[in-house]
Chains A and B, each alone.
Chain A
Amino acid sequence: MKRFSFLLFVFLIASNLSAQISDDQDQAPADTLSILPEFTTLAARKYIDQVVNNPSAWRTMDDPVKNALERLLDHSIEPFDTVRSRLLMQDFRAIDIHTGNPVETGRMALKWLNDSTFLIDPKGWSPNLYLREESKFVYPVDLSSLVLSDSLLDENGMLDPTLFTPDTVIVTVIDTSALNSLGIALHYYKDKLISPPLALGKGGSTPSLAADRRTVIYYRPGTVWEADEDSPFLMMDGRYQLDSLQYAVNKLLEFTEERDSTMLWLSDMSGRKRPFWISSGSEEEYRFWVKNYNNDSVTVWLGNPGSQELRLTLEDDVNFNRLVKEDFEHLPSFVQDPESSLRSMKMLEPIPKYWDFGFLSAFILNQTYLSNWTKGGESSLSAMMDIQLDATYNNKDANTQWINAVRMKFGTIMTQEKGFRKNHDALEINSKFNRNAWGKIGMSASLYMKHQLAKGYNYPNDSIPISKFLNPGTMTLGLGFEYKPAKEITFNVAPLSYKTTFVLDTANINQTLHGIDKNARAKREMGTQIVVSSKVTPFESMEITNNLRLFSNYLKKPQNIDVDWELIVDQKINWFFNIRLNLHLIYDDDVRFPVLDENNQPVLLPDGTEKKVADMQFKEFIGLSLQFKF
């Protein structure tokens, strides 16, 4: 370890020095102590190399410092981690076994007898033992089969004599029997084929004709151990040589690693540093704060389980919040469920009801019965029928109202003494047209007619009628205004009114009794008519109907106002029966009554005529009323 530390120290110094030297400076400066040398890496390497390899520089050649410098030189050429990485990456055992080139085991010389025949004489016998020379005559042509032809003839037509002259030829004869006995093989060579084939050599070695065809070479098959083509190795001495090399390398690397240690400096973004020794086998862990730019930190534990291994462990209870995608689950806010609000409904326009009809009938009965009544009296039965028909036109849109009423009152009284007599008789027709002009005030036009139905008599005279149907009759036309402060109360003022009282049958009816001049059938008046109508209910079962009609004649005694006032009080008994009180008051200045003296005789005027004055007419009737209303 010390050695390694020293080595590292030297290396660092060298590195430091080399870092200070410009790469451009290849030449080392002068080796003087006064001047710090400035080296390039190459120059430093050369310098150390010179020192290391200078025998005179060292006391002993195996000095450790010298060795260290040698190793430093090695490191400078190639750092150790590169060496180690290369060695680790190298598969030393990548080896292949090949059947290699045949191995020559011997040679045998050939003896060629001619171009195509040779023999192999393994023992080197003398050729004389199997070769001898013989002389032989040879004719140019075969005379036995010769066929004469012109070609055999010369110019003279004679046979060529040379054809019949034999040549003496010395022939080498091979004694095959001798060859067999000497164990010599004779072979023929033609077209690179040897026949018979050459016999195998010793140990079964394979014969092969040498390229110069002078010898036969014998081979045996060869086995070699050869590395892969990628391997830096070529041939091995043995099959397991590279395995051993691998093992040796690993062993040494392990040894190196076990013995090695390195100090690292860990720094964070703020520049704070912390040393960390990488050494083999240390189980100690160091805490380190990993920071981001925002100075947020996460604690990390740093361990060194192996010399070439770092282990990082995040502190417990650290939660990570990574940015994650955001999903759109809904459409924008303009997609909304419809609101369940109601729609405005157009209300039905009711069919206008312009006409309203009414019917009111009251049958009023009053009966008295006397029997042996000492104080005197008379049994009687009186009855009155009061029927009213109404037809009212009401157009609110047009602010108009037309009220029409027909009323018929007819009553009789029957007594034991006087018998049957009429005591009520009236037929009224009332028509009034209003047009609302200013709030509760409207313009109005009215028609009022009053007659009777049956003949009337001035009892006890029942032979001369004083009235009958339409005789007399009154009719009033009026134009004016109507004020209606409440539903059942009206004030009608007609400043332009015309009132006529007529008797059509003056022959039978004395018109003067009704305020008409003697020679006239009708009396006409212009004036103002005021009509006040009301219907009030002071108690739940009581109803009071009031009708007051006033008329003032502009032309004659306007101060003498005609009055026609009727008051009806109905007190309900049950569903059908009422008690009805009917009061009727009439005053007409033109209707005059004779003045009677104490003897009940008419007072006469100086001219002999009866004295007559205007007087109030009053009628009262009370009785049990049976009513129907529709």
Chain B
Amino acid sequence: MKRSLFLIFLICLTVSAFGQKSRVLSVMQMIDSKKYSEAKEAIELAVWNDRTANWHRTYYAKGMLCQTAYEDGKESKDIKLTNLYEDQLYVAYDSYEKAVELDSREKIHSTIAKKYYSLSNDFRQLGLEHYTKKEYPEALRAFEHALLMINSKLLNVPADTNLVYNTAMAAYESGNWEKAIGYLTGLHADAFSPATSLFLVHAHLYNGDTLQAETVMMEGVKNYAYSDTVVMYVVNWYTGTHRTDRAIEVLQEAIKRHPDEFRFHWALGLVYSALDNYLEAIESLKKADDLCTEKPPELYYQLGVCYYNIAIDLREAALQISENDEYMEVRDQYLAQFREAVKWLEKSYELDPGNEKTINRLYQLYYRLQMKEKQETFEQLMQ
């Protein structure tokens, strides 16, 4: 009997010695059995217990609990599981990191590394969900954690530039210019995409750094070999800041490289037009018309307006003329320009009959040129 009592004592001693740690290990079974609440209760006790508080498996178990419950909750659409902890995925990440820190002999590094693969994916998915809901700061946080894991020493995976881009977008949309500039600058340096450079420009502008924005713009023009997206943006920027000479320089260089890109000719025409240089504007716009197969009504409208503006200039000049004969000569000239404007505007109208701007302008010109029949037709149209 003494032997049996001794055996019982021995068992109790064993239990007391390994009980706490085994409790942590039993969490794994609970997780397998989807007993997440019990597992949480157990692991929280373990976290605060002196015997297990500094044991790496405790935090591994906690991380695993958070991650597994989250993934299970996502799959079963059970928010109780995804909200087992507040910021559950972040708790998982922090727990894993703590486990790595405590695991000085790197016993479970490879195990955690395997978890990081799926956790990184979870963070990506979480980022996407936040972004879709326009919760940009939260999306940024999630994407940044996904990046953290990719950059972790435990993983050996290639950099995912799309993830960096998405992180940059989340930073951009949340107005965190410092971070947005940081991520976008890297992507811009790698010539990731024209849009990236343009976002970087915007970020610099929002950040109040106009000079840097302009530098990035010009780098973008060169990096993307005068891509139409960037060139158009730069031209728009220069025209918007009344530096049309620079806009023309960029466009002329772009046309040299891409002579068949109708957008460049179109834009050049508009820049010339902004400078009241209508003859060159017309030349460029007609060139764009030749190259463009789509026949955009807007282009014809602008051609018409160029002729219209020439006519207005001539009329203003005519008003200064006191000599009747000379006046009549100039008057004939500007009426001819009005008629030319009508020709192009009618072409635009044919392609886009609902454009009010075109209808109004044509009506004015019909009135001015005393084209009574068409004028009346358009009058009804406008009513």
Contacts and interface: CB of A to CB of B under 8 A. Distances in A.
A332 B270 contact: yes
Contact of A345 (B33, B166, B305): B166
Contacts of A326: 305, 308-309, 361
Given A328-B302, A353-B114, A335 B29 contact: no
A337 B22 CA distance: 59
Interface stretch (A95-103, A515-523, A622-630): A622-630
B141 to A, nearest CB: 15
A481 interface: no
B344 interface: no
A539 interface: no
4 A-B pairs closest in CB distance: A338-B195, A350-B117, A381-B4, A335-B232
Contacts of B274: 327-329
Given A326-B308, A334-B232, A629-B29, A345 B163 contact: yes
Contacts, number: 135
B42 A343 contact: no
B55 to A, nearest CB: 14
A458 B79 CA distance: 59
B228 to A, nearest CB: 8
B311 to A, nearest CB: 8
Contact of A348 (B121, B228, B367): B121
A348 B172 contact: no
B199 A628 contact: no
B235 A337 contact: no
B219 to A, nearest CB: 16
29 contacts: A294-B367, A294-B375, A325-B309, A325-B312, A326-B309, A330-B236, A332-B266, A335-B232, A335-B236, A338-B195, A338-B198, A338-B199, A340-B173, A342-B131, A342-B166, A345-B128, A345-B162, A346-B160, A348-B150, A348-B157, A350-B114, A353-B114, A365-B11, A369-B1, A383-B7, A537-B33, A575-B19, A575-B42, A626-B15
B9 interface: no
Given A332-B267, A343-B162, A363 B312 contact: no
Contacts of B7: 381, 383
A325 B313 contact: yes
A270 interface: no
A349 B120 CA distance: 10
B120 A348 contact: yes
Contact of B235 (A328, A331, A350): A331
Contacts of A335: 232-233, 235-236, 267
A146 interface: no
Contacts of B367: 294
Interface in A341-391: 341-351, 353, 363, 365, 367, 369, 379, 381, 383
Contacts of B315: 323
A348 B313 CA distance: 65
B118 A345 contact: no
A348 B120 CA distance: 7
A335 B229 CA distance: 7
Contacts of A328: 270, 273-274, 302, 305
B22 to A, nearest CB: 5
Interface residues of B, number: 71
B53 to A, nearest CB: 17
B15 A337 contact: no
Interface in A90-115: none
A211 to B, nearest CB: 59
A575 B45 CA distance: 12
Interface in B215-260: 228-229, 232-233, 235-236, 239
A345 B125 CA distance: 9
A242 B178 CA distance: 93
B8 A342 contact: no
B107 interface: no
B118 A350 contact: yes
B117 A348 contact: yes
Contact of A575 (B26, B228, B361, B372): B26
Contacts of B124: 345, 347
A407 to B, nearest CB: 17
A294 B270 contact: no
Given A332-B267, A342-B166, 17 more contacts: A294-B370, A326-B305, A331-B267, A335-B267, A338-B194, A338-B229, A340-B173, A340-B199, A342-B131, A342-B169, A345-B128, A350-B117, A365-B8, A575-B26, A576-B22, A628-B18, A629-B29
Nearest to B239: A331
B56 interface: no
A148 interface: no
A339 interface: yes
A575 B21 CA distance: 12
B113 interface: yes
A601 interface: no
A339 B131 CA distance: 14
A351 B4 contact: no
A320 interface: no
B204 interface: no
Nearest to A292: B370
A343 B166 contact: yes
Interface string B291-309: 0000010110010010011
Contacts of A351: 113-114, 117
B135 to A, nearest CB: 13
B25 interface: yes
Nearest to B198: A338
A346 B162 contact: yes
B297 to A, nearest CB: 11
Given A294-B372, A340-B169, A381-B7, A331 B232 contact: yes
Contact of B117 (A330, A344, A345, A349): A349
B165 A343 contact: yes
B355 interface: no
B4 A367 contact: yes
A414 interface: yes
A17 to B, nearest CB: 33
B23 interface: yes
A347 B121 contact: yes
A597 B222 CA distance: 107
A379 B1 contact: yes
B356 to A, nearest CB: 14
A335 B157 CA distance: 38
B368 interface: yes
B270 to A, nearest CB: 5
Contacts of A383: 7
A54 interface: no
B128 A342 contact: yes
Contacts of B228: 334
A333 interface: yes
B364 interface: yes
Contacts of B229: 338
Contacts of B109: none
A481 B205 CA distance: 68
A576 B266 contact: no
A350 to B, nearest CB: 4
